[in-house]
Amino acid sequence: MAVAEPAASVTPVVTQADVERRGRAFGLEVLSAYEIPALEIPAPARGGPASSLRSTVCREQGAAELEHAWPTEGVEPLVELRFPNGRPFLSVSRHREQGYRIWAPRHGRHVVSPDGREIRSALPRSAAAAWQRLFFAQTLPLAAALQGLELLHASAVGLGGRAIAFTAAAGTGKSSLAAHLLATGATFLTDDVLALELGADGVLAHPEPARASVFSYELRSMTNEGRARLGRRVAAADKPQFEPSRASSALPLAILYRISRSPRFARLGLHEQVPAEPMAVLASSFLTYLRTRERLLNQLAVCDRLTRSVRVYDLEIPASVSAQATAAFVRAHSEGVLAE
């Protein structure tokens, strides 16, 4: 059943022909005609691993114009999520020639071209954090995946010039773990979606936009210095958002922790997967609705390289152990692994 959409509630904006702003995220160079915060990145450090940056052009369009251009036939619904009360939450559909249409009420609507090189967006007048949330969580990752980046549902930080990633079921605490690692000096890569690509010897992990969501109760357990390392606070919601400084370039992925949290665990535990299990890695894939032949083959290739080049650990966290204590445990372990 198709999601019934309310009349367009966004205000048409002036369309700019020229793209004036540049930023980077998910391994893409993002060229935009309007301001997209959190994409600025310092000049890449010398000597960092080479990565091939793809580009995506972002343009604004009025909602009515965007909807009018979207076909009514030949459209395949891919995702239709609703709130418990039945209201639409997120809709993603696909048309072979037009690409992918992403819509979430009060968060805007976007059309991503089939090759991921163009995004046309109707942005709502509501708080910028609302449209940025959808744009960063769904739209840009889709453009990246269409251009050959592989995506994991993971948080990640940089330590000693290498990337450490965490996969887990939603609500397990991977974002909180990353936040506490940031508070102790790690570099931000992502708190939800990790973009990967094949590197010369392994797998490269690209930074996402500089937005880290941290629960208030996690903030309270940090020192003032630790909170300062999260960067400027940019939005207050149930989960306040911060703008941490990001890694200046892609980092080689060195360690992947698969997190499980359960009252069954008596203490923090680590078990290395030797050899690493590919199906477990594939189970953490993000944007699973995207099943083009190219994406699937790339996914398999990245998984292959990852299982050969990355140390994979199952991390067991007792329900009573805090994210802060887990972060200290992980930091000590990962520094030991990286020093080997």
Residues lying near another protein in the complex (CB under 8 A) are found at 273, 275-279, 282, 288, 291, 293, 296-297, 300, 303-304, 307-308
Q: Judged by CB, which is closer to another protein: 268, or 283?
A: 283
Q: Judged by CB, which is closer to another protein: 12, or 77?
A: 77
Q: Judged by CB, which is closer to another protein: 83, or 289?
A: 289
Q: Judged by CB, which is closer to another protein: 64, or 297?
A: 297
Q: Judged by CB, which is closer to another protein: 181, or 290?
A: 290
In angstroms, give the least distance from the CB of 278 to another protein: 5
In angstroms, give the least distance from the CB of 194 to another protein: 19
- Amino acid identity, residue 105? P
Residue 333 has phi, psi (to 5 degrees) of -65, -50
In angstroms, give the least distance from the CB of 196 to another protein: 17
In angstroms, give the least distance from the CB of 53 to another protein: 27
- Rounded CA-CA distance 196/148 in Å is 9
CB 323 within 8 A of CB 180: yes
In angstroms, give the least distance from the CB of 310 to another protein: 13
Q: Judged by CB, which is closer to another protein: 50, or 297?
A: 297
In angstroms, give the least distance from the CB of 198 to another protein: 14
